[in-house]
Amino acid sequence: MPSTLDPHAQTLSLPLDPARLPRHIAIIMDGNGRWAQERGLPRQEGHLQGAQTVRQIVEECVRLGIEQLTLYCLSSENWKRPQTELDFLMTLLQRYLINERAEILNHNIRFRMIGRRQGLTPEVLNELALSETQTAGNTGMTLCLAINYGSRGEIVDAMRAIAAKVQAGTLAISDIEETTIADHLYTAGMPDPDLLIRTAGEMRLSNYLLWQISYAELWVTSRCWPEFDRALLHQALIDYAGRERRFGGLK
């Protein structure tokens, strides 16, 4: 993330009332490997280019005043991939956390991570903890990375925590509400996503924020994540602003 906003980004106008923008955007960043293979490149090149896209989109969301951006970086199912690719992803994540930390601080971004920490390397865990600690007092956009994340596992962990409180006698079964479950998810205290973007044309949710996106607007592009840019983000936001969100009611 450059220390000053990209001049090109400043020339892009978004003809929307800021009140029509989503409060929270969640993105499934799909297609890094596919993008590389289509160009005869190793999959690692796709992940490297994808990291550059992250920088660009984070910068633009900050510029637009988005409250939270949550990026699906590594799913709990991704451990099935070849070990060489997993090792590269861990190294890339560690490098991203180190290289971008100063600019995250400069832009007043609060960094968060959701997912199970078991299985992540000690180096990545250390950098995650450092980024979370150093940005805890920031008041700008929240950048949340979903790493080793799976929504079903998240719900299981929440149910276990709630069951433990019931067993201990500190929570009555009759007192369990939707808010009780939400308060025990990894995303406790965060707003639910208003807009879910998925790249690479896949029409599925891939075990991502299943509880939280109950009323999110979905937007899918056939472009792979390394090709995603500010113009596509703007198109998603324009389409979002044109939709009527009724939340089950009538207008």
Domain ranges for the chain = 150-185
User: 247: exposed, middle or buried (C-beta count within 10 Å: 0-12, 13-18, 19+)?
Assistant: exposed
CA dist., res. 87 & res. 74, Å (int): 12
Output the CA–CA distances (angstroms, integers) from residue 244 to 10, 26, 217, 218, in the order listed.
29, 19, 10, 13
pTM, rounded to two decimals? 0.92
The pLDDT tens digits for 127-173 are 999 999 999 999 999 999 999 999 999 999 999 999 999 999 999 99
- Cβ distance 68 to 23 under 8 Å? yes
The number of residues in the chain equals: 251
Spell out the alpha helix ranges (H) of the chain: 7-11, 32-38, 43-64, 83-106, 122-135, 151-168, 178-182, 230-241
Predicted local distance difference test score (pLDDT) of residue 5: 36
**73 - beta bridge partners?**
none
Q: What is the pLDDT of residue 10?
A: 40
At 248 the pLDDT is 67
Residue 126: active-site member: no
Q: Which amino acid is at 228?
A: F
Judge whether 192 and 214 are in contact, CB under 8 Å.
yes
Is 226 strand, coil or helix? helix
6, 78, 192, 207: which is the annotated catalytic residue?
78
CB atoms within 10 A of CB 39: 11
Catalytic residue among 6, 17, 30, 192: 30
Residue 37 to residue 80: CA distance in whole angstroms: 19
What pLDDT score was predicted for residue 250?
62
**Catalytic annotation on 106?**
no
Q: Show the low-confidence residues of the chain (pLDDT under 50).
A: 1-11
CB atoms within 10 A of CB 219: 20
